[in-house]
Chain A
Amino acid sequence: MALKMVKGSIDRMFDKNLQDLVRGIRNHKEDEAKYISHCIDEIKQELKQDNIAVKANAVCKLTYLQMLGYDISWAAFNIIEVMSASKFTFKRIGYLAASQCFHEGTDVIMLTTNQIRKDLSSPNQYDTGVALTGLSCFVTPDLARDLANDIMTLMSHTKPYIRKKAVLIMYKVFLKYPESLRPAFPRLKEKLEDPDPGVQSAAVNVICELARRNPKNYLSLAPLFFKLMTSSTNNWVLIKIIKLFGALTPLEPRLGKKLIEPLTNLIHRALDLLYGMVSKKNLMEIVKKLMIHVDKAEGTTYRDELLTKIIDICSQSNYQYITNFEWYISILVELTRLEGTRHGHLIAAQMLDVAIRVKAIRKFAVSQMAMLLDNAHLIASNTQRNGICEVLYAAAWICGEFSEHLEESNQTLEAMLRPKVTTLPGHIQAVYVQNMVKLYASILQQKEQAGEKEAAQEITQLMVDRLPQFVQSADLEVQERASCILQLIKYIQKLQIKEVPVAEEVIALFAGELNPVAPKAQKKVPVPEGLDLDAWINEPPSDSESEDEKPKTIFHDEEQRHSRHRQPEIDEEELARRREVRKQEQANNPFYIKSSPSPQKQYQDTPGVEHIPVVQIDLSVPLKVPGMPMSDQYVKLEEERRHKQKLEKDKKKKKQKKEKKGKHRRHNSLHTESDEDIAPAQHVDIITEEMPENALPSDEDDKDPNDPYKALDIDLDKPLADSEKLPVQRHRNAENLKSPDTEAPLVGKKSKKPKKKEKKRKEKEQEKEKKKEKEKRVTEEGKKTYDIQGNLQNDSQVTVSVIFENKSTSFLKSMELNVLDSLNAKMLRPEGSSVHDGIPVPFQLPPGISNEAQFVFTLQSIVMAQKLKGTLSFIVKNDEGSTHEKLDFKVHFSCASYLITTPCYSDAFAKLLESGDLHMSSIKVDGISISFQHLLAKICFYHHFSVVERVDSCASMYSRSIQGHHVCLLVKKVSNSVSVDGKCNDSTLLSNLLDEMKETLSKC
C-alpha cells in the first residue's frame, strides 16, 4: 500500500497537467487528432489510479478536451469521484466537468444526490456555491424533487453569496419539479425585500421569468414591485420591473394610472442621457424619434419637457451636431404647432439665434418666417405669456431685419398689417410695428429702383391706412412707435407726391448689418505691441491738489499745474505721429466704428471674406414648402446627400492614391472621428465668424489663464508627497493631540467608554483662484484642510473637521458647504432640509484668517473607503464688489478613519485570536528603509492602531472600528521587507485596511 502511494506521487510528477496539454496541442498542429487520442489514453490510465489528485488533474484535462468537441461522457463515473473529493480544489474540478457534460440522460447522475446534499449543507460557503452552480446545469426532475427542500433552506442562509445563488437555482427547480413552486413561493416573495441588493435582483429575475408564463398569478406582487421600482437604484432591475409591469397592466388597468409618475421620472432620466448620445450622424434620427413622441404625448408637461430637450440637444455646443440648418429651422417651425406649450419664448430665441448667426440659412429662414406670419392666425390663438405666439416676435423681426431675402415682401407686409395682429401681446405688436417699417423701406427701394412710382405710392398708402390701428393701441410702446412711424410715412408720402426719390434716405434709417459677436471676441483682440494698458494716460490727480488742506504750497502747486497743461501742446510733430498710430490701431480694431461711409462693405473686404458662408443651393431641396414644412423630408435628403458625398470622397481618395499625394485633412477639432466624414450642408463657421479678424489662435480657448478654476485642476487622488504638506496642518496636529477633548460635541460626557480620538490629516487640498481685476492680476488663494474622526458613541457617524483658510485678499462670506450624498454616506443635515441643501459655515473669513467647522456624516457600512464630492459656495467681497464663487472638493473617508485607537492587553488579544471568529488576510511590502520603531509609529499614527506587544522586529497591534470590529495585526520586519498579517471580523474591512496600509508602507 505504502509503495503504491509512493509510486502514485512519483508518477504524478511526470503527468501532464492542463497547461502541458494545451501546449502539446499547440505543438502538434499537423497531427492534432492523433496527439489528442494519445492524451486520452494517458488520461484513462490516470483515472485508474487511486490518487485523487491525479484523477482531478485528468478530469481537468478532459474538461478542456470536451470544449474542443470530444465526448467525455465515458468518464462520468470518474467525474463523480472527483466531485466527492473532500478538498475544495479537487471538488470544484469535478463539479465543473459535471456541469459541462452531465444532462438529464446521464444515468450515473442519481449517484450524486447524497453528495450534492452534503455539499449544499457544508459549512464552507464555497462548497455550497460550487454545488449550486453545478446543479443549475444538470438538475434532473429527480434531483429537483430530492433537493428542493435543501435549496429552499439555503434561500435563508446567513450569507448573501449563498442566498442569491439559491434563489436563482430555485427557478430551475421550479421548471423541473413544478410542484415545488407553491410551497417555495412565499419565501421567494420574501427575497424581494432582502437587505442585500444582489439577492433582491436575483428574486426579481426569477419572478420576472415566472411571470412571463402566467402574469395573472403575480398581480398580487404589484405593490411590492411598485415599491422596488421607486426605491431601486439598479437600472437593470428597473428595466426588468418595467417589463413586468408591461405584462401586468393589461390585467389590472388601475395599475396604469399609478405608474405614470414613476415612469415619467425614469423617462426624464433617460432623456438626459440623450445629450451625450447625439452625434452628427444620429442627431436627425434622434430628433425624429422625439418628434414622434411629441405628437403622441398626452399632457403638456411631458410635451414641454420633450420640446426643451429637442432644443437643448440641437443647440448644444454652438449647434455642433447640426449638419443641415434648413432641417433645424423646419423642426423649429414644426414645434410651433404644439398647442398650449409654455416654451414659445424658447423657440423664438432659437429662431433668432440661428437666423442671426448662421448667415447661410437666412434666406431659408426668412421664407419660413414669412410663412409663419402669413399663418399667424393659427398661432395667435394662444396669447398667454410665453405661449407659442412668442414665435411671431421672432418671425416679425427676422422678416424685417433680413427683408432683402424676402420674395413676396408685399404679401408679408400685408400679413403684418392685418387687424388680427392687434390682439397679440404688446411687446410682439411693438416688434411688428418696428419691423414693418424695415420691410416697407426695402419695398420702397425696390419699387423706386424699378421705376414703379405708382406701386411705391400704393404701398405708402397701405401703411398710412393701416397704421392708425396700432396708434390706438393700449400698449404705450406700440402706440408710441406707431404714431412716430405714421408721421414719418406721412412725410414720405408728401415727398412722393412731389416726386422726390426718398428710398435711399428711408433705407438709411436701418442701414448696417447686424453681426453676431462671440462672447469671447473682445479678449481675443491682441494688445498692440508697445501699448501698456497699465500706464497712465494722464498723470493721476495728486493728493496734494486739495488746496484748502495745504494752503502753504499754493504757489508751487499752481506752477505744477501750468506745466501739466502745457505738456500736450508742446510737440506738433509728436502729435501728428500719435494720430497716425491711433488711426492704424483703429483700422485694426473691428469694434471701432469707422468714419468711412460704408463701414459694412469695408468689413467684408477684410481678410474675413473667406469665412463668409457660401450657400450651395441644392435644387432638390424645396425652398418653398407649401403650408407648414416637414422636417422628415430633410432626413431623407440628408441621407442622400451624405451618400453622394461619400461616393465623391471615395473617388477623391482613389485619385489621391494614384497621385500618391497625401492631402492634409481639414482640421476640425470639434468633430469626433466618426463624424468627420459628414460635411455640413451649409458651410457654417459660427465660431470663426463671430471673432474679430485678428483674433489670437483659439487653442488656448478652454485653458483661459485667467480662469479662476484652472488651479483646481489637481489630481486629488494622487498620494501626497512629503513636500506637499501644509505648514498649518502640522501645527494643528500637535495642538489637537495634546488636547483631544477640546472639540467633542458629539461625545456624551456620561459615557464610561474611553474617550479617545485621533485626528489625522487624510488629504489636503490646496485650491487657488485667480481673478482678473482690470488689467492688474491679483492672486487669491483659498485653502481647505480637513480630517475625519470616528465617534465611539454613535456607530454610524463620523465627524469631519474642515479648516477653512482664506489666502486671498478679499473677504469671504456666506460660505455654504454641500456634499453629494452617496447611498452609504450622507451628510447630516438639519431636519426638514433636502439633500440638495448645503450647510452654512457658521463664520465669515477676513483675508488671511482660518477657522474650523465640523460636519457630521452618517455611514451605513464602514467596511469600504468612501469618496464624496462636494462644493463650497461663497461670496467674495472686495473693493470692486462681490462675486459668487464655488470650489469643488472631494472628501476621502479612508477605512482607517473609522478606526479608533483602543488599547488592548495581551491576554485579551490572545483570547480574541483564539476565538476563531476572525477572517485573516496579509500583505507584504518590500524595500522598507525606515526603522521598525519608526514604522510602528507610522501605523499607529496614520492607521489608528496601538501596539499590544513588541518583541524585537515583531509586534502585535490592535484597533477597533466605530462599529465594534476588532482588528488585530501581526507586523514583522525581516531585513527590508515587512509583512503584516491581519485578522478582523469583516474580511472586506480588513482587506481594505491592509490595502491602505500597503500604500503607507510602500512610501516608507
Chain B
Amino acid sequence: MIKFFLMVNKQGQTRLSRYYEHVEIHKRTMLEAEVIKNCLSRSKEQCSFIEYKGFKLVYRQYAALFIVVGINETENEMAVYELIHNFVEVLDRYFSRVSELDIMFNLDRVHIILDEMVLNGCIVETNKNRILAPLFVLDKMAES
C-alpha cells in the first residue's frame, strides 16, 4: 500500500504532500527533508527504488521536481513507478504542459487528481479521461 505521496523540488521545498496514514505535522517536515536528501544523493544510473526506514521509496525526477512515493513492502514498486508517470501525464493533460508553478497555484486541483487516482493507499483509477472527469465538472460549475 502507498503510505505517502510527495512532490518536492531540488531545493527541498514541498510542492504537494499526501499522507495515507496519519503523521504528525512536525514529523512530516522532517520526513520530507530526509526523503528528498535521499533522492538527491542518487545518480541517474542508480535505480529509482530506495529502502528507507520501514518502507520503500519509489521516485522519479521531472526537471527540478521529484515525485517520491513511500510504500510498504507488499506494494509493487513497478506499479507505483508507472503510477507516478501516469500522474504526471494526467497533470500534463489538464494543465497542458504542466510546470511547478501550475502545481503550486492549483494545489487543490492537483489534490483532486491525486485523490481520483489513489484512494486509501491503493491505486484506484488510471484512465486519464475518468480521472479528469470530476475536475471538468468542477470547472464547469466554477464558470457558471
A→B interface (CB under 8 Å):
18-19, 22, 60, 63-64, 66-71, 73, 87-89, 92-93, 96, 100-101, 103-104, 126, 129-130, 132-133, 136-138, 161, 164-165, 168-169, 171-172, 198, 202, 205-206, 208-209, 212, 236, 239-240, 243, 988
Contacts and interface: CB of A to CB of B under 8 A. Distances in A.
B105 A88 contact: no
Contacts of A240: 76
A980 B107 CA distance: 32
Contacts of B129: 988
B1 interface: yes
Contact of A136 (B25, B29, B104, B119): B119
A918 to B, nearest CB: 16
B74 A22 contact: no
B133 to A, nearest CB: 8
26 contacts: A18-B106, A22-B104, A22-B105, A63-B111, A67-B107, A69-B14, A88-B141, A89-B138, A89-B141, A96-B108, A100-B18, A100-B19, A104-B22, A136-B20, A136-B120, A164-B124, A165-B119, A165-B124, A168-B119, A168-B124, A169-B119, A169-B120, A198-B124, A202-B124, A205-B122, A988-B129
B115 interface: yes
A956 B1 CA distance: 51
Contacts of B112: 92, 96
Interface string B99-123: 0000011111001100100011011
B26 interface: yes
Contacts of A87: 141
Contacts of B22: 103-104, 137-138
A624 B107 CA distance: 67
B72 to A, nearest CB: 10
Given A66-B25, A67-B14, A88-B141, A132 B119 contact: yes
Given A137-B20, A198-B125, A209-B1, A172 B14 contact: no
Nearest to B7: A67
A88 B138 contact: yes
B124 to A, nearest CB: 6
A161 B111 CA distance: 17
Nearest to A864: B129
Nearest to B17: A67
Nearest to A674: B45
Contacts of B29: 69
Contacts of A68: 14
B76 A67 contact: no
The 4 residue pairs across chains A and B that have the minimum distance between CB atoms: A136-B120, A103-B22, A69-B29, A133-B115
Nearest to B103: A22
B141 A71 contact: no
Nearest to B111: A96
B137 interface: yes
A212 B120 contact: no
A18 B120 contact: no
A169 B125 CA distance: 14
Interface in B7-21: 14, 16-20
A69 B26 contact: yes
Nearest to A136: B120
Contact of A63 (B74, B107, B124): B107
Q: Which of A67, A70, A71, A73 has the most CB of B within 10 A?
A: A67
Given A87-B141, A168-B122, A209-B74, 7 more contacts: A69-B14, A71-B25, A89-B142, A132-B119, A161-B130, A171-B120, A988-B129
A243 B120 CA distance: 20
A212 B74 contact: yes
A67 B28 CA distance: 9
Contacts of B20: 136-137
Contacts of A93: 108
A620 B141 CA distance: 74
A129 B124 contact: no
B47 interface: no
B79 interface: yes
A565 to B, nearest CB: 78
Nearest to B134: A126
Nearest to B30: A69
